[in-house]
Amino acid sequence: MNLRIRKQAGFTLIEMIIVVLLLGILAMVIIPQITVSTGEARLNTLRTNLNTVRGAIELYYHQHNNTYPGAVKTDGTGAATVAADLPAAFIAQLTQYTQLNGQAAGDRSTLTAPIYGPYLKTADLPQNPYNESAGITCTRSVVPKSCFSDW
């Protein structure tokens, strides 16, 4: 009987264990750095979004005779008094075309000159990167009326 031992190609168990251990060590070093980068990216996104909204509010305020967005109804007929009107007016007046009296419309042709805005290029406020919310809560006070985001 001619028995030959054939040499087989492949990895030994020891080689496989060493590779798995090396990959585990690399993962322990890299994963915390990725987590830190994600947190910094969220913080930078939040800062950028807040600066964008602040700039839009200030520009609206100066172009509309020192009136903040959300202070008047979206049809421009008077003060937004109902709690539901405040956030809707705030968002509409920042994201749509507006007239000096605060009347907001998505189409320029429905408004008369001068036409301002839109101050934000999206249909809604930017999202909070920490909770994915774009909601706001508006309060009325004597000076000034203000809206606060859920951020």
Q: What is the pLDDT along the chain (151 residues), one digit of tens a residue?
A: 566 666 777 888 999 999 999 999 998 888 887 777 788 888 999 999 999 999 999 999 999 999 989 888 888 888 877 676 788 889 999 999 999 999 999 888 888 888 998 999 888 888 888 888 887 777 665 444 455 555 4
Q: What is the largest CA-CA distance in the chain?
A: 106
Q: What is the pLDDT of residue 143?
A: 47
Q: What is the pLDDT of residue 18?
A: 95
Q: What is the pLDDT of residue 85?
A: 77
Q: What is the pLDDT of residue 20?
A: 96
CA distance 114 to 64: 11
Q: What is the pLDDT of residue 14?
A: 92
Q: What is the pLDDT of residue 2?
A: 60
Q: What is the 3-state composition of the chain as percent helix, strand, coil, each rounded to the nearest 5? A: 45, 10, 45
Residues contacting residue 88 through CB under 8 Å, at least 6 positions apart: 74
